[in-house]
Chain A
């Protein structure tokens, strides 16, 4: 068993906005909005505003309510919560939404 230099983390860790308590206790229940499920995405939907006819199909079919209409009336994707299911890409009647591979 190799003896490797180890860094101790006795207390809780912070990871992004989420506090990783020991035992994963959630001390502020109802914090799901702090958890950005967008990190699960493999492909991101990208809306071409030129082609978009504002028919609202994507807004209606999105299972995560991650499509919103901004102040200018444009249909946008909330990438904090879009899991990349690509239902919008499939359903867009004018093919205004394309998919792009998420890369790190």
Chain B
């Protein structure tokens, strides 16, 4: 079914199509339209789920621990400081190996208070053991929420996943969406079954203490599963393409005009659209330029990136976040992944600042000259 909808609604429809059973949610701009749409579906009887009106995001994340342990597929959405309030529970969900799925409508973290987009919320949680996928379009939102459950619930993974979509520049933008049929989603994503669940007839202990003699082994299990997720994400992308006819690169990175590119920009989320438009423009003027969209930031797809950047002369990374006192976090990791390639790091689009075609052209010019003229795209 073809629709013209906001990305927020696409996210909500993705959760509905995934037959989510429990949604503990607390609204915060710019993620608010997601719980609004979900409560519409539940009230209208279109979605068989429980919406828990929690008193805070901390409770939203906490409620998911309980709901998933009863064997209920669970979903929430948040942004910015609301996400920060969940922070304590993020590593508990991942450490307890609970396949929660959450949409982050990316928004700058206060202070100063700012409701607009950057990646400072989700990027600051990159070490909390969650899979992180960054999306670019409304269509990708529907498809990725469904894939997130497929990935998170895979026995080789069993980790929570967050899908990050840019606040306003995506959440509030109306686009064409080809909505997958429920029947096909049901066959792609079977109902959720949890191996160890809360059951009075068969009591188990969840979330016990991990002493120094076992803590490292348990963390290594998490790391191994995180790395397993790389191939599971690729497979989910491939299987989804077979069923629904759409794919996003190899599921980890998506390449645009990279076959013979000498210079490229690497970014996450909606910046990629602007970068692709400029790359197309420069291509028409004979420049060999391309764009690498990093769809999956956790786990970090080292091999896919090395393959993509193999013959590049220069690469620019646009970070929508800065690790204050250091540099852009994506830049740091790309730099250590590609030691043989000259990589420039730029800080762009913080707190909703536009990233323009001129910015992108300037970055490509820097790459061509082999000299970075500035670090901040102000």
Residues of chain A at the chain B interface (Cβ within 8 Å): 1-3, 6-10, 13, 15, 18, 20-27, 29, 39-40
Contact = CB atoms under 8 A, between A and B. Distances in A.
Contacts of A26: 204-206, 208
A13 to B, nearest CB: 6
Interface of A is mostly: loop
11 contacts: A1-B333, A1-B336, A1-B337, A8-B224, A10-B228, A18-B214, A20-B217, A23-B97, A26-B204, A27-B196, A40-B211
Given A1-B302, A23-B196, A29-B205, A6 B224 contact: yes
A2 B220 CA distance: 17
Given A3-B303, A13-B217, A27-B196, A22 B156 contact: no
B131 to A, nearest CB: 15
A31 to B, nearest CB: 9
- Among A3, A7, A15, A25, the most chain B Cβ lie within 10 Å of the Cβ of A25
Q: What size tier do the contact residues of chain B reach?
A: 20 to 34
Nearest to A9: B224
Interface string B202-226: 0111111011011001101100110
Nearest to B213: A39
Contacts of B206: 23, 25-26
B96 interface: yes
B185 interface: no
B155 interface: yes
A24 B208 contact: yes
Contacts of A8: 224, 227-228
A2 B337 CA distance: 7
